[in-house]
Amino acid sequence: MQYLLMIYGDEGGWEKMTPEEQQRGGAAYIAYTQALVAAGVLKGSNRLRPTSTATTVRAKDGKTQVLDGPYADTKEQLGGYYLIDVPDLDAALSWAGRCPAVGHGAVEVRAVWPM
Amino acid sequence: MLTAEECDALAQSTADAVARRSYGKLIAFLSALTHDVAAAEDALSEAFAAALTDWPRNGSPESPEAWLLTVARRKFIDALRRSQKLDPDADVLSIGVIPDEACSEEIPDRRLALLFTCAHPAIEVAIRAPLMLQVILGLDAKAIASAFLMSPAAMGKRLVRAKEKIRQAGIPFRVPERSELPERLDAVLEAIYAAFAEGWSDAAGTDAARRDLTAEALFLASLVAEMLPNEPEALGLTALMLHSEARWRARRSQGGDYVPLAQQDCELWDWAKINRAEALLKNAASMGAIGRYQLEAAIQSAHVDRRWSGRSNWNEVVRLYDALIAITGSPVVAVNRALAVAETQGPVAGLEAMPNAAEDQRLAAYQPYWAARAELLARAGTTDEARRSLEIAIGLASDPAVRRFLEQRRTSVAAGASEEP
């Protein structure tokens, strides 16, 4: 089954870190990604640009509306994701638990609806 | 020759017997293969319905379980085909449907794995016990709702949601590996104990749905103990439940009045259950890993022993409570410990050992806390304060028998009598 691990955290946190902290943080994600690759479970992964760059689109009365900003203004923002392919939720939760994000934010795990 | 009615009755009784013996086993087997509990339940209930029309006509099959499984499998595939999601030409066997030969062999018992699925950390804590009762034992949502004091519609909805989560989130159907077993087993035992406590809270046994729940929970605990015989806490929980069940009849007088342990008629205890509990507890203790349920069972065992032998063992009971508090940190345990302290060191020491309701919200609304406090205050001769505590206890009591008992106690305290309850 495929699972999307969504990384939520305070996106302002990164800027407040010292260069050493940023380097350590980056290294943790690189190591995590390598572990996913080595296990053969990684299907895709990306880091997202901050929500200040987000644009939200919806249609109202048949007319497309484009709004500046994220869909929801929350304390923690979606900052990136990993798409993994593992046998079941336990395996997905175990990978989520190793993600560096659990130390500074949270990881939401959702099964992907197969199409 | 049997008459048509006799054939029907025979089919019905065979189906009932298989349902009682094999329902959970069949559901567990079907669920593990299809990863869909709700679909497994639907398919099996259709298979049971088919049995009631087929068996009177053609006679009960040699292996009713295999017959039901074969039909359930077919019903499951039919349902899959019917659902729009599936391409009618798709190979249904490739999506995890039971292979033919699975139906002819001895059906493996996967109930334990299914219990772990029901108590998975991804499942809401409050719905775990109802889920187990429905999925493993086949209790309907209405009966479960009534036992948990909830509306059938709300209970039904939450059960459906939990089964959907199992299917859609891909919660596995397996017994966890050694490394995670202790924590996961804890969740299973906790849910079973929650079901038991829910049934036990109707100690008068006036509500049939709740009363049955203790027996059903005891069945689940025994099942876990049987399938994980090397897990001392599974044995401990079963022992604890057996001890409680054994004294059930003695807890009410013939007039329906509450009878405290100290005044119970030991002849009314179920000694077969007590002996089973003792054997389980001894076995668990030999494994050298103490835990919450073993300690609680040991406390029950000590109470039984004291009443039976007449030998005071309150110091031992206090020590068991100390160990239990170290594990659970529960204020309820602290209340019981304070009562035991009072037995050895007097009511004033007991009151000093009593936790403070002002510091713990949960205690403020916990009736036995106020009743226990009142008891110690009365014994210490502080009548006014004892009466005030009793008032609160009476106001919090939900069981009429317990309320009557407390009201009588209030009268005797007010009269200045401080004899034992």
Could you give the CA distance from residue B63 to residue B69 in angstroms, rounded to a whole number?
10
Q: Are A75 and A51 in contact (CB under 8 A)?
A: no
Output the six-digit token pair for A16.
């407040």
pLDDT tens, position by position, B31-54: 988 889 999 999 999 999 999 899
State whether residue B168 sits within 8 Å of chain A by CB.
Answer: yes
> How far A84 CA sits from the closest chain B CA (Å)?
13
Separation in Å, CA B394 to CA A42, B164, B334, B400: 61, 43, 21, 10
**How many Cβ pairs within 8 Å bridge chains A and B?**
24
Output the six-digit token pair for A67.
């709004």
Q: Are B228 and B115 in contact (CB under 8 A)?
A: no
User: Which pLDDT belongs to residue B96?
Assistant: 46
Q: What SS3 class is residue B29?
A: helix
The verdict on a CB contact (< 8 Å) between B171 and A1 is no
Rounded to a whole number of angstroms, the distance between the first and last alpha carbons of chain B is 65
> How far B171 CA sits from the closest chain A CA (Å)?
5
User: Which pLDDT belongs to residue B254?
Assistant: 86
Looking at the predicted structure, is the pLDDT value of residue B308 above 60?
A: yes
Mean pLDDT of chain A: 93
Q: How many residues does chain B have?
A: 421
Q: Where are the domains of chain A?
A: 2-111
Q: Are A1 and B35 in contact (CB under 8 A)?
A: no
Output the six-digit token pair for A108.
């939401």
Cβ count near B220 (within 10 Å): 28
pTM given for the model? 0.82
pLDDT tens, position by position, A41-96: 999 999 999 998 999 999 989 899 988 889 988 889 999 999 999 999 999 999 99
A93 to chain B: which residues are within 8 Å by CB?
121-122
Q: What CATH superfamily is the domain A2-111?
A: Dimeric alpha+beta barrel (3.30.70.1060)
For A57, list phi and psi in degrees, rounded to 5: -115, 130
Looking at the predicted structure, is the pLDDT value of residue B121 above 90?
A: yes
Residue type, A42: L
Mean pLDDT of chain B: 88
- Give the CA dihedral B382, B385, B387, B391, nearest 10 degrees: -160
B172 to chain A: which residues are within 8 Å by CB?
87-90
- Chain A residue nearest residue B116, CA to CA: A90
State whether residue B187 sits within 8 Å of chain A by CB.
Answer: no
B168 to chain A: which residues are within 8 Å by CB?
111, 113
Residue in A87, A89, A113 nearest the CB of B122: A89
The candidate with the shortest Cα–Cα distance to B175, out of B351, B26, B6, B32, is: B32
Query: Which of A90, A112, A115 has the highest number of chain B CBs within 10 A, making it the mutation to test binding with B?
Result: A90
- Chain B residue nearest residue A114, CA to CA: B168
Per-window interface: A 40-99 vs B, CB < 8 A: 87-90, 92-93
> How far A43 CA sits from the closest chain B CA (Å)?
18
Looking at the predicted structure, is the pLDDT value of residue B240 above 50?
A: yes
Residue in B120, B121, B170 nearest the CB of A111: B170
User: Which pLDDT belongs to residue B379?
Assistant: 94
ipTM above 0.90, yes or no: no
- Residue B190: which residues within 8 A CB-CB, separation 6 or more? B119, B128
